[in-house]
Amino acid sequence: SALLIGLTGGIGSGKSTVAGMLAERGAAVIDADAISRATTAPGGAALPAIAQVFGPTLIGADGALDRAAMRQLVFRDASARQRLEAIIHPLVGQETDRQAQQALAAGHPILVFDVPLLVESGARWRGKVDRVWVVDCDPATQIERVMARNQLPREQVEQILAAQSPRAQRLAAADTVLFNGADTTLDTLRQQVQRAAATFGL
């Protein structure tokens, strides 16, 4: 039967890069952030409930969630955040399960769930996967990578890092650690991925 891997790591650590390397080895990659975003994109499954709970003003003219307005609302209001998550999380869970079933039916030997906030989410994701793989990177390198990739100022990237769980907490949750620091080349990263996959006969 297939191996279900929960792949996580801080912003810019290299999750997508590792997921791509696992895809080269026949893995199906399930992108939790993409699924979550789709629930609030135009026509998204979360929009009717969001309009009902928070009022139609949070839905923009394009029919999508007004992300800036929503962010403002949940930033100061923990209960609003909880109500939003109570709408979105079950829908993400359903769509994740649907994609996983589809990948299993297609015969993929590995399913990789790319979940940036797996550690932060507690049992919600941990219960779905057999193993947690953490892509580990020093914060200085994460900051450099994200500044370069997203053309963002340093302060903004530092703020995002500060809102995520600390490196040590992610490492404590890991079954397997893939180190992807400043001196890690894509070749040496791929070697680590191969070694970790080989542990499971993949």
Element (H, E) at 147: helix 139-150
Which residue among 5, 6, 15, 113 contacts ligand ATP (CB under 6 A)?
A: 15
Instruction: Give the nearer residue to ligand ATP in terms of CB position, either 82 or 150.
Output: 150
Q: Which residues pair with 178 in a beta bridge?
A: 135
- Residue 13 marked ligand-binding: yes
Between 52 and 159, name the residue whose CB sits nearer to ligand ATP.
159
Q: Between residues 6 and 116, which has the closer beta carbon with respect to ligand ATP?
A: 116
Q: What is the CA radius of gyration of the chain?
A: 18
How many Å separate Cα 132 from the centre of its chain? 12
Query: Do 136 and 167 meet the contact criterion of CB atoms below 8 Å apart?
Result: yes
Judged by CB under 6 A, the residue of 53, 163, 172, 186 near ligand ATP is: 186
Measured from the CB atom, is 100 or 189 closer to ligand ATP? 189
Q: Is there a contact between 125 and 118 (Cβ–Cβ < 8 Å)?
A: yes
Shortest gap between Cβ of 90 and ligand ATP (angstroms)? 23
What is the spatial distance between Cα 106 and Cα 121, in angstroms, rounded to a whole number?
A: 28
* Interaction of residue 6 with ligand ATP, rule CB under 6 A: no
Site for ligand ATP in 148-167 (CB under 6 A): 149
Based on the shown chain and the rule CB under 6 A, indicate whether residue 16 belongs to the binding site for ligand ATP. Answer: yes
SS3 of 40, please? coil
Beta bridge partners of 59: 65
Cβ neighbours of residue 89 under 8 Å, at least 6 residues apart? 124
Q: Is 15 annotated as a binding residue?
A: yes
Binding site residues, ligand ATP, CB under 6 A: 9, 11-17, 116, 145, 149, 180, 184-186, 189
Binding-site members for ATP are 12-17
